[in-house]
Chains A and B, each alone.
Chain A
Amino acid sequence: GQSLEQPSEVTAVEGAIVQINCTYQTSGFYGLSWYQQHDGGAPTFLSYNALDGLEETGRFSSFLSRSDSYGYLLLQELQMKDSASYFCALKVGGKLIFGQGTELSVKP
């Protein structure tokens, strides 16, 4: 099976940079995705890493190291609206297996 670990909570201030880590165990996977979910809402896609290295999309960047079974999501220039839950997810076959999620609180 697969397992993913993320910190349960992270707090940061507006304008700062925050990194959310994700470690995983799996026998094989296609890539690592990141999703954002606001309370009561649908998850929305942020980023995907099929290969090792950094992917940048605006204020968000994601990193993957297959050799370390590790990835992270980097959020820059934090805004209040970034307060949400963030999930890493392994793409295994056609499925996505999600981590437990990290609740990010952005303070003024």
Chain B
Amino acid sequence: GAVVSQHPSRVICKSGTSVKIECRSLDFQATTMFWYRQFPKQSLMLMATSNEGSKATYEQGVEKDKFLINHASLTLSTLTVTSAHPEDSSFYICSASGSPSTGELFFGEGSRLTVL
């Protein structure tokens, strides 16, 4: 299957700083990528849909100014957590669509953010 790479895998930052997470599709072009957030032992909550060359579509309740998403190329989407606070600590996972005929998403390895 297709490979989606996410970086960094772990990041620790101080409260009030901003953190950027990169999501790359390594062997295919992804016009659409999805960003999820997952708390321990919980579900994957869709945060936003990232569309190449246009603004991201955020899910209800997700702060656009807090979680900045940029999809500047067909192989790269970035999530920036601005002015991070301890409650933003979570596992953030990106994904890209696979076959349009199936529900398959290719997921990155995830980024564990810890805000001190």
Contacts and interface: CB of A to CB of B under 8 A. Distances in A.
Interface of A: 30-33, 40-45, 48, 50, 87, 89, 91, 94-101, 103
Interface stretch (B11-19, B66-74, B75-83, B107-115): B107-115
Interface string B15-59: 000000000000000001010100001111110010000000000
Q: In terms of DSSP, what is the predominant structure of the interface of chain A?
A: strand
A41 B109 contact: yes
Contacts of A33: 102-104
Contacts of A103: 41
Contact of A95 (B43, B46, B107, B110): B46
A45 B104 contact: yes
B42 A100 contact: yes
A42 B102 CA distance: 18
B89 interface: no
A50 B34 CA distance: 21
- B-side interface size class: 20 to 34
B84 interface: no
Interface string B89-104: 0010101011001111
Contacts of B36: 98
B103 A31 contact: yes
Interface of B: 1, 32, 34, 36, 41-46, 49, 91, 93, 95, 97-98, 101-110, 112
Contact of B49 (A30, A40, A95): A95
Contacts of A40: 91, 110, 112
22 contacts: A30-B103, A31-B102, A40-B110, A42-B93, A42-B110, A43-B107, A45-B98, A45-B106, A50-B101, A87-B43, A89-B103, A91-B103, A94-B49, A95-B46, A96-B95, A97-B46, A98-B45, A98-B46, A99-B43, A101-B41, A101-B42, A103-B41
Contact of A100 (B43, B93, B101, B106): B43
Nearest to B103: A33
A97 B1 CA distance: 21
Contact of A87 (B1, B41, B44, B101): B44
